[in-house]
């Protein structure tokens, strides 16, 4: 799975908002805290607002806040808001792929890959990341001998 800059920025901005919840944070404050380009961040926050993940308030005292408590917002929801579906194969959903011959069973693998990604990002909330208390099945993945090795 490849996480784009847009996805990374969205999760980082959501974490900043989760830390401040229910208070408002300005785009400038989030950009400074996370060292993000402000214009790009504004576009990301607009996507999160359209998806119902954040609320915006205009005015001198304005800014952004999460629309729901941090424990109710998953990383998967944030990523989908800015990236679309989590796992695609040439622009198709895994279950939409069809192959012939030796690759005919490949769609099952693509579906399994999507399920594995979902098992992590849809089961980890912003609150769990902030607290450092990831679910046990996610912690186990980070403890695998080769988990931190690049390949």
Domains identified in the chain and CATH numbers: 5-142 (1.10.10.10)
Cβ burial, residue 50 (10 Å; 0-12/13-18/19+): exposed
The 3-class SS string of 19-57 reads HHCCCCECHHHHHHHHCCCHHHHHHHHHHHHHCCCEEEE
Q: Which residues pair with 55 in a beta bridge?
A: 65
Look up the pTM and report it. Answer: 0.91
Indicate the helix (H) or strand (E) that contains 56. Answer: strand 54-57
Distance of CA 61 to the CA centre of its chain: 27
Per-residue confidence (pLDDT) for residue 126, from 0 to 100:
98
Mean per-residue pLDDT over the chain, rounded: 94
β-pairing verdict for 63-66 and 54-57: antiparallel
Task: Give me 9's structure tokens.
Answer: 């920025």
Per-residue confidence (pLDDT) for residue 93, from 0 to 100:
87
Task: For residue 89, name the pLDDT band (cuts at 50, 70, 90).
Answer: confident
Task: Kindly tell me if the per-residue pLDDT of 90 is higher than 90.
Answer: no
Task: Give me 121's structure tokens.
Answer: 């990002």
């Amino acid at each position: 799975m490849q996480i784009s800059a847009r996805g990374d920025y969205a999760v980082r901005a959501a974490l900043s908002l989760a830390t401040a919840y229910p208070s408002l944070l300005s785009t400038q404050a989030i950009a400074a805290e996370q060292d993000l380009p402000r214009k790009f961040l504004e576009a990301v926050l607009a996507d999160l607002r359209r998806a119902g993940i954040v609320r915006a308030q205009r005015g001198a005292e304005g800014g952004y806040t999460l629309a729901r408590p941090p424990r109710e917002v998953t990383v998967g929801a944030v990523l989908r808001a800015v990236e679309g579906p989590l796992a695609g194969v040439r622009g198709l959903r895994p279950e939409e792929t069809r192959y012939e011959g030796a690759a005919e069973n490949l769609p099952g693998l693509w579906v399994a890959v999507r399920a594995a990604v979902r098992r992590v990002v849809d089961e980890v909330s912003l609150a769990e990341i902030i607290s450092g208390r990831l679910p046990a099945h996610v912690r186990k993945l980070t403890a695998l001998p080769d988990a931190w090795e690049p390949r």
